Amino acid sequence: MNPPSQPTPLSDADDDIRLQAAAWLVRRADEDWLPEDEQSLQRWLNADAANRQAYAHAQRIWAELGTLGQSGLLPEQGAEMVSETKPLLQGTVRRRMLWKGAGAAVFAAGAMWMGAGSQIMLAFEADYRTGVGERREVALPDGSRVHLGGDSAVAVRYDTRHRQVTLLRGEALFDAKPVNASGGPDAERRPFVVAAADGRTRALGTRFIVERLDARTQVTGVFHQVEVSLDHLPQDVVVVSPGQRVSYDRLGMTALQVLGEDAGQSWQRGLLVFERAMLADVVGRLNRYHTSRIVVRDHALAQRRVSGVFLQSDAQGAMQAIAQELGARLLQLPGLVMLL
């Protein structure tokens, strides 16, 4: 007899889809779910096979948590609670769970599933990494230095022609040993390049910051200049000077943003500075310093803009201040903080 087939696992690129699927499942259990909400869900499911796969996985998690009946289908709307008898080693336990509590549990399970997969990949790829809330300084073979922020990872690939560091996750401040083509036999002639997502940054001087967010990467000049280009358009180069920032994704690059000369100093002092930043990006950065995973349930809320200066060591206080500013609610669960 052949073993039952297993669903194909989603790739790391689908992390956001996994959380979207869990969010849809949570919303569907809400008593305020409307016919138009069901239509929106069906459009999302029909838009991509990956969406349907992620949603099916979220349903399986829900079932394993004991919140589904024997049919394996989502209950009819309006049901306030479900119960299930589960055999344990020494008897039977009857469990009852409120819908919203169950939905939050599914959301938490989805977040943990997403995080577990990415952590396993990092263990194979990264040469240097940090945990949540940890900062680390690394000396590279050529004398360059990398200052890793929380929950960040890099892979180092040096050869006779190139010095390349790949930012796999998070953020890092780079102090690159500058190129000296006219020096002696020990002078550094290889370019120093940081690859991240869909582009790369080449040092023209020494110090700069590269940060990977959920949907894009941003590069901040700190001392001297850097060149930023996209992998599929290497000839189109943007020069970033100290106090400037550029962001890019697979579609292109933004215009240069002027931040001020102290951008690097704020980072090194352990400050998180946001100037009309999208909440989704803010949460992405705070997650590197918060022991529980922070998620935003509502897409419209995730697009709201946030300004402020916060300590990396007080991500919880930052979340409370942001929630108050936006008029949102915080739901605290084991290992998870939901912004509603």
Is 245 contained in some domain?
Answer: yes
Residues 179, 137 share a domain: yes
Residues 133, 252 share a domain: yes
Distance CA 155, CA 64 (A): 37
Distance CA 13, CA 16 (A): 8
Is 149 contained in some domain?
Answer: yes
CA 123, 197, 208, 279 torsion-angle sign: negative
- Looking at residue 183, its pLDDT comes to 67
Provide the percentage of residues in the chain whose pLDDT is more than 70: 71
Is 264 contained in some domain?
Answer: no
243-276 residue pLDDT tens = 999 999 988 999 998 886 677 778 778 888 888 8
The pLDDT of residue 87 is above 60? no
- Looking at residue 97, its pLDDT comes to 38
Domain around 207: 126-259
The pLDDT of residue 175 is above 90? yes
Structural domain total, the chain: 3
User: pTM, whole model, 2 decimals?
Assistant: 0.66
The pLDDT of residue 43 is above 80? yes
Roughly how many angstroms between the first and final C-alpha of the chain, as a whole number?
Answer: 48
Residues 251, 133 share a domain: yes
Mean pLDDT of 128-134: 90
Residues 166, 100 share a domain: no
Residues 249, 143 share a domain: yes
Helix ranges (DSSP H) in the chain:
15-28, 35-47, 49-64, 99-125, 263-268, 279-286, 299-302, 315-326
What is the residue whose two structure tokens read 């001297």? 224
Provide the percentage of residues in the chain whose pLDDT is more than 90: 30
Listed residue (111, 132, 45, 99) closest to 297, CA to CA: 111
Residues 173, 113 share a domain: no
All residues at 6 or more sequence positions from 326 whose CB lies less than 8 Å from its CB, including other chains: 279, 301, 304, 306
Residues 318, 201 share a domain: no
More confident residue, 211 or 81: 211
CATH of the domain at 312: 3.55.50.30
- Looking at residue 26, its pLDDT comes to 66
All residues at 6 or more sequence positions from 292 whose CB lies less than 8 Å from its CB, including other chains: 332, 333, 334, 335, 336, 337
- Looking at residue 66, its pLDDT comes to 45
Of 88, 110, 125, the residue at which a domain comes to its end is 125
All residues at 6 or more sequence positions from 290 whose CB lies less than 8 Å from its CB, including other chains: 132, 133, 315, 316, 319, 337
pLDDT band at 109 (very low <50, low <70, confident <90, very high): low
- Looking at residue 157, its pLDDT comes to 94
CA-based R_g, the chain, Å: 23
More confident residue, 219 or 24: 219
Distance CA 9, CA 21 (A): 15
pLDDT band at 300 (very low <50, low <70, confident <90, very high): confident
CATH of the domain at 213: 2.60.120.1440
Is 157 contained in some domain?
Answer: yes
Is 327 contained in some domain?
Answer: yes
- Looking at residue 222, its pLDDT comes to 92
Residues 130, 53 share a domain: no
Say whether 340 sits in a helix, a strand or coil: coil
Residues 141, 171 share a domain: yes
Is 265 contained in some domain?
Answer: no
Write b or e for each residue in 222-237: b if 16 or more Cβ atoms lie within 10 A of its Cβ, otherwise e. beebbbbbbeeeeeee
Residues 184, 232 share a domain: yes
Is 5 contained in some domain?
Answer: no
CA 14, 323, 170, 124 torsion-angle sign: negative
Residues 195, 136 share a domain: yes
Of 205, 229, 259, the residue at which a domain comes to its end is 259
Residues 290, 252 share a domain: no
Of 108, 125, 142, the residue at which a domain comes to its end is 125
Mean pLDDT of 92-117: 47
Is 4 contained in some domain?
Answer: no
